[in-house]
Structure 1
């Protein structure tokens, strides 16, 4: 689900203040400086940065604005070196859907529209359901990531036409490695389709839905957690009853935005002997996208098999 208006305004305000005050950041490279003939690319998170590397190989110089696995992307504060990296980028990859609005804000403030900007939500073609909000965590949707690889290949080919064939080849190889992940989801669906799970936030929903699982979480609970709001006592008890009543087979838990109310859910799940599957929004240290998602899907399958 997309950020609330108040959270978006707070995020944009903090980004502006950071630009003025010179707050620190955590990009993969210090300032996006590209001293070679490689294509300079800026990605909003290291998830997209890694995908760019899979497609671009040694022909890209990638700066990921958010790369700290302990950083909550929703509360990220942009820094001056981010603006510098964006000003030099030939390609920019953002999530969109209200997730990383600070990227668009900095692009506009830099008055540079020469970079090819790839918006993953737009690539996905996904829209908010009637009466609901968009789940913007599209990197957990493997068909979307396959489309994104092709879009990145096309953008890199435009920036570096001499290596277009290599980019296409790399994108095809990357997409081929997504196929086993979709096969794992299909296997979970065959074995556990229709079973209930609980979540703390909508982060993993594309993965659980593709696996045929049903989210039993009270919408007011996951929405409040994502928006940083308090959960009412009634909704909290309704959520905890999922575990005490053994109405779900697993809890899929976003480790990057834990707090007292999500910790109560985790404790209730463990007390009831219900497996907890931790997930994150950015790459854990030492993981690439494919290895990370393989671990996520395997952990989900393992939890349901217990």
Structure 2
């Protein structure tokens, strides 16, 4: 995984405005929709979390193609020339800048006009190998802002700098509240690209936001009273989720699932596990579980799956985003000793 610097700078925060302006150029007619596949709006999504939004919000009015096929580790995606060519022909491209370098490069090369960068639709924080509830109060301070206000606010906050050396945690979809903010921005973009069906896009967006709100409530109540707040995971993908629900994520390898932890980090995790009464070391489905299993064996801990939802496969514990997130909640409740 090569997580690039992801926090919107002033220029990048304006990218969503430029993207939506270009989309709004279509608002005078339904040419975009008419020119799509079978009369549908042709949407290209970079990977599963973006695909899910496009399908849920677009419904029967969109034809969605996904650059990252099931089972492919999205961070390591390499695009074929044909895929790059198709980007330029899409009505709308939905992606998350910074998580897939190949996609970022292809979009720049293809000169795609109608792009929606999910990173500009909510705030991002930098999360390292350990991330948790320390930033929870600051995180809560901006709840209720619109997606546009989020994007504007992010340009002036400490820690929200694309240019920072550590970069930021791109896994915004694992926080249902942030994901709902992104959903609202995507709904607006589709409505402007295909105004004939704007009412349906708004209705579908509202329905999805409600489902995400219910999911947020389930996490908040399900994780409120636990024996411990600390969990250990191979891939530090859950910093936003941990911050949202007052937990402490301790990542073995940081935000890069392929990096090897140092002996000092392993010793530190062993000490944390003992001190914080950690019961479980989590691994994921699309990356190696070797280090997690070794650490668990050395410390006498259980192992379980915490899915970062970068793709749905036959081994996923659920058929879609909501189902897998509820499976993640159940796994966290068990590991943390929820009461």
TM-score by length of 1: 0.78
Aligned residues: 269
Contact kept? 1:193, 1:211, Cα under 8 Å: no
Unaligned runs of 5+ in 1: 6-32
Report the counterpart of residue 222 of structure 1 in structure 2.
Answer: 253
Query: Given the alignment, which residue of 328, 333, 337 partners 1:296?
Result: 328
Give the CA deviation at 1:92: 1.1
Q: 1:263 to 1:79 in 2, by over 3 A?
A: farther
Deviates more, 1:44-53 or 1:250-259: 250-259
The CA RMSD over aligned residues, in Å, is: 2.7
Q: Which has the higher contact order (CA 8 A, sep 6+)?
A: 2
Deviates more, 1:37-46 or 1:278-287: 278-287
Q: List per-residue Cα deviations over 1:22-63 (Å, max 9, x = no partner).
A: xxxxxxxxxxx9531111111110221121110000000101
C-alpha distance in structure 2 between counterparts of 1:157 and 1:230, whole Å: 44
1:257 aligns with 2:287: yes
C-alpha distance in structure 2 between counterparts of 1:194 and 1:305, whole Å: 7
C-alpha distance in structure 2 between counterparts of 1:247 and 1:297, whole Å: 19
Q: List per-residue Cα deviations over 1:41-99 (Å, max 9, x = no partner).
A: 11110221121110000000101111323x22221111123213212211111112x21
Contact kept? 1:63, 1:85, Cα under 8 Å: no
Query: Given the alignment, which residue of 65, 68, 91 partners 2:67?
Result: 65
Give the CA deviation at 1:303: 2.9
Give the CA deviation at 1:246: 6.2
C-alpha distance in structure 1 between counterparts of 2:240 and 2:90, whole Å: 30
Report the counterpart of residue 112 of structure 2 in structure 1.
Answer: 113
Deviates more, 1:139-148 or 1:250-259: 250-259
1:185 aligns with 2:219: yes
Contact kept? 1:185, 1:207, Cα under 8 Å: no
C-alpha distance in structure 1 between counterparts of 2:248 and 2:184, whole Å: 31
Report the counterpart of residue 9 of structure 2 in structure 1.
Answer: none
Give the CA deviation at 1:240: 3.5
C-alpha distance in structure 2 between counterparts of 1:172 and 1:243, whole Å: 41
Q: 1:299 to 1:204 in 2, by over 3 A?
A: same
C-alpha distance in structure 1 between counterparts of 2:109 and 2:43, whole Å: 18
Kindly report which structure 2 residues correspond to 1:207-218, keeping only aligned pairs within 5 A, or say none: 207-217=241-251
Query: Given the alignment, which residue of 176, 188, 209 partners 1:175?
Result: 209
